Amino acid sequence: MAGTGTLHLRPESNRVLSVEDLVVEFPAKGGQTVHAVSGISFDVLPGETLGILGESGCGKSSAGRALMQLPPPTSGSVRLDDDELTDVRGRALRRARARMQMIFQDPVSSLNPRRKVKDLVAEGPRIRGQKVDDERIRASLRAAGLDPDVVWDRRPHELSGGQCQRVSIARALMLEPQILICDEPVSSLDVSVQAQILNLLEDTKQRYRLSLIFIAHDLAVVKNISDRIMIMYLGKICEVVPAGRLARHAAHPYTRLLLESVPEEHLPGGEAPVGDEERAANEGADRGTHRPPAELPSPLNPPSGCRFRTRCPLATDVCADTEPEMRALADGHFVACHHAG
């Protein structure tokens, strides 16, 4: 079977979320298809933070939204505990969806501008027909680090970006989710505020025993908050790596490329990956290939075989012919590459 495989999945009984062979496609002009996500599988354990890392356009948000069935994926399976979300509709889907909540990149525009904070926070349970008393709203605001007396009657434009993101978190917590999907939750915030929101997410996770899916294009942000990191490229998974192994032991040429573009002091352990540049250049020279071109191939017409091959310093003929399957490198560390490791 072509695909990045499922070797990296953990025993089913341990997982809170199981995603198998997820495909997300969009129709495009001229009868073409955008292959946003092309058959990825991953899982999340209770209390775990899974980081999803990759350049803009690689399908991270499409994958995140497909988990929520917003919209449902083109194909594949999304199982939350024992519920197959791609099978449920209507009220049952709304109930299941409440168990996963999503936080978006742009905190101001993801909130209805006409509503006051007290109503924004209560909205989820109210839509589900629950009566919500003020103390419950206040508790949720406090849990998100906001003073209810200050923000109660404010509207989103009267708050800072960081405060709006806290409101989004308070809103999500009202539904007592099992999983919080954070899609670039700090990318639009100032650096000083980023750290505060990351700390809040970490505290929230511990306090409510949540699992997090943390999506970002910024490696420095993902590595600190995640237990396990999944690296995506053009709708596929390249590598799944325990966060602690990322800086020193990343194996996929794409992951190494991402690491090279991060200043050393931002990496855990403070050292650049071993042997990278020189080895890649030498191997490239041996095989008559060149350093990768900068532009990204299109998801309208992804390369055959390994989708990274057109930018890869290690690429050979097999990479064009055969899609690499996930293989194990170490405990919890997997790579989909014919040559890495």
Contact residues for Mg ion, defined by CB under 5 A: 61
Q: How far is the CB of 290 from Mg ion (least distance, A)?
A: 30
- Of 14, 32, 33, 56, the one binding ligand ADP by CB under 6 A: 56
Distances (CA, A) of 132 to 98, 195, 315, 322: 16, 31, 58, 55
Q: Which residue is nearest to Mg ion (CB)?
A: 61
For ligand ADP, how many residues bind (rule: CB under 6 A)?
A: 12
Q: What is the DSSP string of 184-232?
A: STTTTS-HHHHHHHHHHHHHHHHHHT-EEEEEES-HHHHHHH-SEEEEE
Pick from Mg ion, ligand ADP, none: which does 268 bind, CB < 5 to 8 A by kind?
Answer: none
Q: Which residue has 């709203």 as its token pair?
A: 137
When asked if residue 234 is in the footprint of ligand ADP (CB under 6 A), the reply is: no
Q: Does 69 bind ligand ADP (CB under 6 A)?
A: no
Q: Where are the alpha helices (DSSP H) in 226-271?
A: 246-249, 253-260
Beta-strand relationship, 228-233 and 83-84: unpaired
Q: Quick check: 32 binds ligand ADP (CB under 6 A)?
A: no
Do the strands 75-80 and 83-84 form a parallel or antiparallel pair, or are they unpaired? Answer: antiparallel
Nearest distance, CB of residue 163 and ligand ADP, angstroms = 24
| Nearest distance from C-beta of residue 54 to ligand ADP, angstroms | 6
Whether the CB-CB separation of 271 and 248 falls below 8 Å is answered with: yes
d(CA 172, CA 140): 9
Nearest partner of 266 among 229, 222, 233, 228, judged by Cα: 222
Q: Does 57 bind ligand ADP (CB under 6 A)?
A: yes
Q: Is 231 one of the binding residues for ligand ADP (CB under 6 A)?
A: no
Closest approach, Cβ 4 to ligand ADP, in A, equals: 16
Residue 204 touches which of Mg ion, ligand ADP, none (Cβ within 5-8 Å per kind): none
Between CA 234 and CA 18, with CA 247 as vertex, the angle to 5 degrees is 50
DSSP helix/strand/coil, 118 = helix
Strand 236-242 to strand 333-335: parallel, antiparallel, or no bridges (unpaired)? antiparallel
In the bound state with Mg ion, the residue whose beta carbon lies nearer, of 61 and 101, is 61
Q: What does residue 19 show for φ and ψ, rounded to 5 degrees?
A: -120, 120
Rounded to the nearest whole angstrom, what is the least distance from the CB of residue 185 to ligand ADP in the complex?
13
Q: Contact between 182 and ligand ADP (CB under 6 A)?
A: no
Q: What is the tally of helices (H) and strands (E) in the chain?
A: 12, 12
Does the footprint of ligand ADP cover residue 59 (CB under 6 A)?
yes
Binding-site partner at residue 36 among ligand ADP, Mg ion, none, CB < 5 to 8 Å by type: ligand ADP
46 binds ligand ADP (CB under 6 A): no
Q: Which stretch binds ligand ADP (CB under 6 A): 14-22, 41-49, 50-58, 116-124?
A: 50-58
Q: Which residues bind ligand ADP (CB under 6 A)?
A: 26, 34, 36, 54, 56-62, 299
